[in-house]
Structure 1
Amino acid sequence: MKNAFFLIVAIVLFSLPGCNSDRKAEPTQRPNILFAISDDQSFAHTSFAGAKFVNTPAFDRVAKEGIYFTSCMAGSPGCAPSRSTIVTGRYHWQNEQSGQHASSWMKKYIPFVDLLDANGYVTGRTGKGVSPFRYAQDKNDSLWRATDAAGITHSDMRYNENTDGDERPARFISNVNYFENFKYFMENVRGDKPFFFWYGAQEPHRAYEQDAWKRTDKKLEDVNVPGFFPDDSVVRGDMLDYAVEIEWFDLHLQRMLEYLESTGELENTIVMVTSDNGMPFPRVKANCYEYGIHVPFAVRYPKAFPGGRVVNDLLSFADLAPTILEITETGTDGMLPISGKSVLNILKSKQEGVVDASKKYVFAGRERHSSSRYLNWGYPQRAIRSHEYLLIWNMKPDRWPAGAPQRIKPGTENELLPMFGIDGNGIHHSEWAFTDIDAAPTKSFIIENWQDGYVHPWFELAHAKRPEFELFNIKDDPYNLHNLAGMPAFALVEEELKQTLISELKKSGDPRVVGPDKEVFDSYIRYSPMREFPKPR
């Protein structure tokens, strides 16, 4: 009897969890990822950041319950190169034409999304992906990628302006119903596997319906006009129309969060929210100034990332791919060498402020944006950002930063349209000049009044040629109005930033620095509409 008793006890103990050395551990549930990215939104323009003229409850929730990064820098102040950096973990200048605006995406630049897909994740997207790029159209495009680098699209659910269900608050907002497409993906595509979903709103990209804000309770006096704009009701109204579109992006994110919460999925979903570059206004988008590359960024995952934190670490878009790969325990096989570094240690930390002091700098840059100069030349810039300073290298200071001030009239060989795009009646036509700046009431107001003594300084800030190097103290001068480059008091800072920037460009093989063809970026084919400009004198 005694032996039988001990035999029963042994059997029971052996069957308990942890007592069977041959028993396989239960697999841990891998986290889902919802990656939400707006199109053209500067860091300052969320209600969490203190903007009074915009209301972003979804972003605010992610930031409050998660981790808010105060210093996230986009890969570029333009959408295509910046998004290229996100999915490859590489600076856009490392990706040839696949890091340039409106060129082709080559097969060899494999995005992390593909690797997640191969590692058991179900991937998908809605709205804008990694674009604008030209993807393969048929078998003749054998070197080009066939599908968007952000994943397979689910964008069939759309608003119809002829129905009562069209709730869009402004005329030019995309008709893609982002939330319903996400819901369709969750209920018809995802199955029981972990998912990665890219929510790419097309807002607040222009065009805007002018004065759409007047149908809301917004007020001109609530707008905080940045110091690089004249304080005028036209500018304030333009920024309120911008806010309407940010709120549309946020509304669909809020619906996604509520849906995940209702289905019990939210706590196992990492939510990342950001934007690809700064606001579509003069001297911001397509410029490496603070408001052009500094974007909002927040992450929520209380299950493993201690929340309620504001973190000041420098974050680069190049860091996102390696971070997501590490989170999902996905290797990098197949991807080209990654330049960014995972920040999972920061996400898992309980600290606020600067968590990892070893990272002192982040880098950004631009080449070609729109078709805005002779032979489609760009305006190459490289930038280095520390916690306190921003240094911009304008590599071709002889070129116009916002695009040429005069365009050849379409349909003619050399007939020029009026200077600055101002017709005989004093009306500005945005497509006639400075076309690296999106058409906007703010742009037209500044150009039409460029000779006005009050407005002229802002015209110069946005359109005039710039020195080769610009240095700004971003704490004392957040609008980057006072160039410190060349000043003896800042010589040591300037030299350190220059040497660090050049070292990184050499390390990363930037053709503008190491060659062999330093002008190669201007040679890539552009697949978007072209404009003709006179040869510079």
Structure 2
Amino acid sequence: MKTYIVKIVVLVTIISLNSCDTKQKEVAENNTNVTDRPNIILFVSDDHGTDAIGAYGNPVIKTPNLDKLANEGIVFTDAYCTSASCAASRSVILSGKFGHATGSYGHVHDYHHFSTYDTIKSLPVLLSKAGYETARIGKYHVAPEKVYHFDQVLEADPRNTVEMAEQCADVLKSDKPFFLYFCTDDPHRGHPFEPDPWDTPNSFGNKKEGYKDVETITYNPEDVLVPAFLPDTKQTREEIAEYYQSISRIDQGFGKLMQMLQETGKADNTIVFYISDNGMAFPGAKTTVYEPGIKLPCIIKDPTKNSKGLTSNAMISWVDLTPTILDMAKVDFDANKFHGHSFYDIMGKEKFEGWNEIYASHTFHEITMYYPMRVVRSENYKLIWNIAYRLEYPFASDLWASSTWQAIYRNNIEFFGPKTVKDYLFRAEFELYDLSKDPNESNNLATNASFQDILNTMKGKMKAFQTKTKDPWMIMWGHDASLQGSGVNL
């Protein structure tokens, strides 16, 4: 009996040792794979257009740290979000799918309650599963949490990017490769949205007393650059000056984060992105699908590639970010699971095929702002389909109350920038522009007989895009119910 028990003990011990050895080998193999992967920082500002950054040609604004990133990496000159609305855009950034296909039609908070389907596998979840430490700080604005889950949630004042950077110290020192999702509230308009008196410029989060460890950099309204789509008024200039100040605060926090990264010794193995969720928070940009709303800064520094101080005119989209980051992270994924495509292989290349077409899809900003629009840009031509064109174009509450808009509205001025107020509020069903000749989208070619072939070609591309991405609004093409489904929620 004792001999039998001894044999069992020996057998169990051998099995246990073999099991431990196998587990140790698996851990070692996984660690080899994981530690060979780069760290990734995705820095996302809130309502920052290409109009206000030195690397994109603005000589007035002070953004030395972002300009340094551009000198050390690649500046994409034709990078687009898919919807110029905070929550809708962020869902695309983290899912690789258009919002019309994920239920992320607009804002998630309060009574808006637009929420991503729980079947979606998001970027942070996929990276965490692959062995990354995932952390987020600042603006979140997506739901549900179980879809967009991060391993760590860090807390700091989202208007103080220096403080935000300091809170990321432990993540930067992680033993595992990390994915840091760093999202500021700047330069979003600040509360209160309705100023008193009405012509007081919005603060854009700026405070008279400033922020701890942040240098307050102010701008003279006379010196700012007024984009062509805006009216050059006293009110516009005052608000742009505040907008610039908020961006300079972003730049300082970004610089602090890069300094901390350098001190960890991990800078040579960390890929850094700087992007924005949508264009500047002024009428004619944010919530629209015009160029100032959806054409955004995108600067990427990848120390693993020999690509410094380069520019790329590849047309990329925020729907491409998730597959690109997974590609960078050496994570296996099914490309067919995403609407976007990885552009990692063309980074740093002067010549490449394709990457000359992007699509956009906007449905809501706030729930009371139903105005679905679909966009295709192919080469120099851009087609906008205003599906609800019979409605007056809706205003986001902060844009309506802005002194920039109110200066025009209260005084019954006919023009808002190059467009009439009437044309801004009441739009054609189709808008077709040749951006090479008309970068300000002022001359609608959709009714021009000479451009009907181009119009029909662009419509065909749009229909194919909607079919491929299962856009419910496909039904608006002649009541096409082919994508309507069975009505059963599977």
The TM tier, using the shorter chain, reads 0.7 to 0.9
Q: 1:198 — aligned with what?
A: 181
Q: Percent identity?
A: 30
Cα shift at 1:454: 5.9
Q: In the aligned structure 2, how far is the partner of 1:337 from the partner of 1:298?
A: 26
Q: Which amino acid aligns with 1:178?
A: M
Q: 1:239 — aligned with what?
A: 240
Q: Pick closer, same or farther for the CA change 1:317–1:369 going to 2, 3 Å.
A: same
Task: Spell out, residue by residue over 1:87-134, the C-alpha distance to the aligned partner (whole angstroms, 9 max, x if none).
Answer: 1111111112x34322123321220111111111101011012x1x45
Q: 1:123 — aligned with what?
A: 134
Q: Which amino acid aligns with 2:98?
A: Y
Cα shift at 1:497: 1.5
2:107 to 101, 105, 112: 101
Q: 1:53 — aligned with what?
A: 60
Q: Pick closer, same or farther for the CA change 1:368–1:213 going to 2, 3 Å.
A: same
Q: Structure 1-normalised TM-score?
A: 0.74
Q: In the aligned structure 1, how far is the partner of 2:417 from the partner of 2:96?
A: 40
Q: 2:79 — aligned with what?
A: 72
Q: In the aligned structure 2, how far is the partner of 1:320 from the partner of 1:234?
A: 36
Q: 1:33 — aligned with what?
A: 40
Whether contact under 8 Å (2:70, 2:299) holds in the other structure is: yes
Which consecutive unaligned segments of at least 5 residues does structure 1 have? Answer: 1-23, 136-144, 160-172, 404-433, 521-537
Cα shift at 1:216: 4.2
1:112 to 123, 137, 142: 123
Tell me, what secondary structure is at the counterpart of 2:375? Answer: strand
Q: Does residue 437 of structure 2 align to residue 476 of structure 1?
A: yes
Q: Pick closer, same or farther for the CA change 1:230–1:104 going to 2, 3 Å.
A: same
Cα shift at 1:83: 1.1
Q: 2:389 — aligned with what?
A: 397
Tell me, what secondary structure is at the counterpart of 2:371? Answer: coil
Q: 1:186 — aligned with what?
A: 172
Cα shift at 1:387: 3.2
Instruction: Report matched runs for 1:121-520 at 5 Å.
Output: 121-129=132-140, 131=141, 133-135=142-144, 145-146=145-146, 148-149=148-149, 152-155=152-155, 157-158=156-157, 173=159, 177-187=163-173, 190=174, 192-207=175-190, 208-209=202-203, 216-332=217-333, 337-347=337-347, 349=348, 351-352=349-350, 355-372=351-368, 378-403=370-395, 435=397, 437=399, 439-449=401-411, 451-453=412-414, 458=419, 460=421, 463-514=424-475, 516=481
Q: In the aligned structure 2, how far is the partner of 1:454 from the partner of 1:99?
A: 31
Task: Spell out, residue by residue over 1:320-359, the C-alpha distance to the aligned partner (whole angstroms, 9 max, x if none).
Answer: 11111111121337x9820111111112x4x33xx32323
Whether contact under 8 Å (2:281, 2:399) holds in the other structure is: yes
Whether contact under 8 Å (1:100, 1:368) holds in the other structure is: yes
Cα shift at 1:438: 5.3
Whether contact under 8 Å (1:127, 1:176) holds in the other structure is: no
Cα shift at 1:486: 1.4
Q: 1:426 — aligned with what?
A: none
Q: In the aligned structure 1, how far is the partner of 2:51 from the partner of 2:469?
A: 30
Whether contact under 8 Å (1:124, 1:196) holds in the other structure is: yes
Cα shift at 1:507: 1.3
Cα shift at 1:303: 2.4
Q: 2:198 — aligned with what?
A: none
Whether contact under 8 Å (2:278, 2:296) holds in the other structure is: yes
Cα shift at 1:56: 1.5
Cα shift at 1:210: 7.3
Q: Pick closer, same or farther for the CA change 1:319–1:111 going to 2, 3 Å.
A: same
Tell me, what secondary structure is at the counterpart of 2:67? Answer: helix
Q: Pick closer, same or farther for the CA change 1:125–1:360 going to 2, 3 Å.
A: same
Cα shift at 1:213: 10
Q: Pick closer, same or farther for the CA change 1:69–1:281 going to 2, 3 Å.
A: same
Q: In the aligned structure 2, how far is the partner of 1:276 from the partner of 1:29?
A: 30
Whether contact under 8 Å (1:111, 1:150) holds in the other structure is: no
CA-atom RMSD in angstroms: 2.9
Task: Spell out, residue by residue over 1:7-61, the C-alpha distance to the aligned partner (whole angstroms, 9 max, x if none).
Answer: xxxxxxxxxxxxxxxxx99766210001101011112321111113322222211
Q: Which amino acid aligns with 2:275?
A: T
Q: In the aligned structure 1, how far is the partner of 2:233 from the partner of 2:162?
A: 33
Q: In the aligned structure 1, how far is the partner of 2:88 from the partner of 2:157?
A: 28
Cα shift at 1:242: 0.8
Whether contact under 8 Å (2:81, 2:294) holds in the other structure is: yes
Whether contact under 8 Å (1:402, 1:437) holds in the other structure is: no
Q: Pick closer, same or farther for the CA change 1:216–1:62 going to 2, 3 Å.
A: closer
Whether contact under 8 Å (1:281, 1:438) holds in the other structure is: no
Whether contact under 8 Å (1:92, 1:99) holds in the other structure is: yes
Q: Pick closer, same or farther for the CA change 1:211–1:158 going to 2, 3 Å.
A: closer
Whether contact under 8 Å (1:371, 1:436) holds in the other structure is: no
Q: In the aligned structure 2, how far is the partner of 1:72 from the partner of 1:456?
A: 24
Q: Which amino acid aligns with 2:343?
A: V
Cα shift at 1:219: 2.4
